[in-house]
Structure 1
């Protein structure tokens, strides 16, 4: 796909993402979809309203009515699409910085579109083939104001509310100024938790911290956990489809460890789990211990969703899927990454024992991640060529499902281009931190040498 990456399409506003482009995406989607009504939602970014207006205009121009959901978490928008049996357009750049925005497309089943469906829409965008409506057949827009309340009520009905309430948990919460600010604090209080918040006012400038819930951005949350003697800390990204945790000592838990803990709790023998090619050995070990099968895909939610649906069609059960970035699927509940639901399922575990104990069996590996930005296609091509040569010369057989993954038994390294940003990402993991760092830095040296020669 030329326009859609591993999780929709994103870009810097005014540069690679413009209202004109979003208008065309909406016109193309409205042309391909048979629906006469489409939902539009957004996160808190300052440019969200502008892009909602562009998308609404595009849909109306091809004769489609619009339900404007306002600022809601992505999983709340997905729930609305499923309940109303209408497709949706979500204006969000998820965890990206505030100058970014993006478009995510959802089907009338409440599931992000498959690669094949996105390609059909992309063809119409590129050829500008749109079913423009006559003047008296254009669509209209109406606001819908109950989406967050309905979403929260459904969450409450689908978690172990009594067990969480009985544990009398104190929870520190950092919603990162995103859409989760409008739902998760109240949701956790209704679960019976004592909630302390930071960065919880909706603000698309993200003044308190950057949107991505990675350890270097969670210092405020770690301090809040320690200051309030909280049992656990929870952090979201901009559209609240992720949850990252901080233990009772104020230490951030890696997304790989929390995913492994959740998988161990909810997988049974014969089940399937789905993850991406950068999967941690932690999840591999859990699946082996449980007797579950692990399926690997290219990185990105779209690819995981596609594989889960294929397994469903084959009659397989997929209770847990996800990546080590805090984005966990519980497909039997809903096929979407849902930060509030992930948080509640983790609280079910913390209700029984401390957060540090929950993840203790999955703390044996060290992870290193390096991003190399590029400014031109020539630089990208040079780095990918260098990665190919590096993999070919390595003392390991490359897995090329998505980029180049080299497994060495005690550690592994993966090099792949980002699907959402102009970066090549390097991931490494090992039982020994020095070993993982060495692998990552060796790969980085090879790629940087390639662009230095241009």
Structure 2
């Protein structure tokens, strides 16, 4: 696909993402969907309203009515689409910086579109084939103000409220000024938690921290956990489809470790789970201990969703799936990454033992990630060619599911281009920080050298 990546399409506003482009995406989606009504939602980004207006105009021009949900977490928008049996357009750039925005497309079953349908929409965009209607048949827009409340009630009905309430937990929460600010604080309070917040005012400038919930952006949350003697800290990204945790000592828990802990609690013998090619050995170990099958896909939510659906068609049970970035699926609840729901499932476990004890079995590995940015296509090509050469000469058999993954038994390294940003990412994991860093830097140096020769 030229326009849609591993999780929709994103770009810097005014450069690779413009109102004109979003207008065309909406016209193409409305044409392909051939439906009378579509939902639109957005996160807190300052450019969100502008792109919502563009998408609404595009949909109206092909005769589609619009339900404008306003600012809601992506899982709230997905729930609305499923409940109302309407497709949806979500204006969000998830964890990207504030100058970015993007578009996610959701089917009328409440699931992000599969690659095949995205390609159909992309074909209409590129060919500019739109079913533009006559003046007297254009669509209309109505505001829907209940999506967050309905989502909130749905969350409460699907988690163990009594177990969490009985534990009398104190929770430190950092929604990162994103859409989760409008739901997660009250949701956790209704679960019986004492909630302390930081960066909980909706603000698309992200003044308190960058949107991506990685350790270097969560220092305020770590301090809040220590200052309030909280049992756990929880952080979201911009559209609240991810949850990352801090233990009771104010130390960030890696997403790979929390995923392993959540999977260990959910999987049973004979189950299947799905993760991406950058999967941690932690999850591999859990699956071997439980007797569950692990399926690997290219990186990105769209790819995981596609494989989960394939497994369903084979009659397999997939109780949990996800990646080590805080994005976890509970497909039997809803096939979407849901930050508030992930947080509640983690709290169910913290109600029994401390967060540090919970993830202790999964902290024997160290992870390193290096992002190599590029400005021109020639730089990307040079880095990918260098990655291929590096993998070919390595003392390991490359896994080319998505990029180049090299497994060494005690450690692994993966090189792949980002599906959402102009970056090539280098991931590494080892039983020591030195080993992981050595592998990551060695691969990254090969790519840097290739660019330097241009």
On whether the aligned pair clears a TM of 0.5, the verdict is: yes
Do residues 21 (structure 1) and 21 (structure 2) align? yes
Q: What residue in structure 1 maps to residue 281 of structure 2?
A: 281
Question: How far apart, CA to CA, are the structure 1 residues paired with 2:265 and 2:308?
Answer: 19
Q: What residue in structure 2 maps to residue 349 of structure 1?
A: 349
Question: How far apart, CA to CA, are the structure 1 residues paired with 2:156 and 2:360?
Answer: 28
Q: What residue in structure 1 maps to residue 323 of structure 2?
A: 323
**Equivalent runs, 1:146-161 vs 2, <5 Å:** 146-161=146-161
SS at 1:383 equivalent? helix
Do residues 269 (structure 1) and 269 (structure 2) align? yes
Q: What residue in structure 2 maps to residue 202 of structure 1?
A: 202
Question: How far apart, CA to CA, are the structure 1 residues paired with 2:441 and 2:53?
Answer: 45
1:235-266 CA distance string (max 9 Å, x none): 00000000000000000000000000000000
Counting matched residue pairs gives 454
Do residues 377 (structure 1) and 377 (structure 2) align? yes
Displacement after TM superposition at 1:150 (Å): 0.3
Please give the root-mean-square deviation of Cα atoms over the aligned residues, in Å: 0.2
**Equivalent runs, 1:60-209 vs 2, <5 Å:** 60-209=60-209
Q: What residue in structure 1 maps to residue 260 of structure 2?
A: 260
1:348-404 CA distance string (max 9 Å, x none): 000000000010000000000000000000000000000000000000000000000
Question: How far apart, CA to CA, are the structure 1 residues paired with 2:405 and 2:399?
Answer: 5
Question: How far apart, CA to CA, are the structure 2 residues paired with 1:294 and 1:170?
Answer: 34
Instruction: Give the TM-score normalised by the residue count of structure 1.
Output: 1.00
**Equivalent runs, 1:414-433 vs 2, <5 Å:** 414-433=414-433
1:150-172 CA distance string (max 9 Å, x none): 00000000000000000000000
1:7-33 CA distance string (max 9 Å, x none): 000000000000000000000000000
SS at 1:132 equivalent? coil
Question: How far apart, CA to CA, are the structure 2 residues paired with 1:430 and 1:330?
Answer: 28
SS at 1:253 equivalent? coil
**Equivalent runs, 1:295-314 vs 2, <5 Å:** 295-314=295-314
Q: What residue in structure 2 maps to residue 240 of structure 1?
A: 240
Q: What residue in structure 2 maps to residue 43 of structure 1?
A: 43
Question: How far apart, CA to CA, are the structure 1 residues paired with 2:225 and 2:350?
Answer: 14
**Where does structure 1 differ by over 4 angstroms across 4 or more consecutive aligned residues?**
none
Q: What residue in structure 2 maps to residue 364 of structure 1?
A: 364
Question: How far apart, CA to CA, are the structure 1 residues paired with 2:333 and 2:287?
Answer: 20
Displacement after TM superposition at 1:64 (Å): 0.1
SS at 2:414 equivalent? strand
SS at 1:26 equivalent? helix
Question: How far apart, CA to CA, are the structure 2 residues paired with 1:358 and 1:149?
Answer: 31
Q: What residue in structure 1 maps to residue 337 of structure 2?
A: 337
Instruction: Give the TM-score normalised by the residue count of structure 2.
Output: 1.00
SS at 1:415 equivalent? strand
Displacement after TM superposition at 1:432 (Å): 1.2
1:128-179 CA distance string (max 9 Å, x none): 0000010000000000000000000000000000000000000000000000
Displacement after TM superposition at 1:34 (Å): 2.1
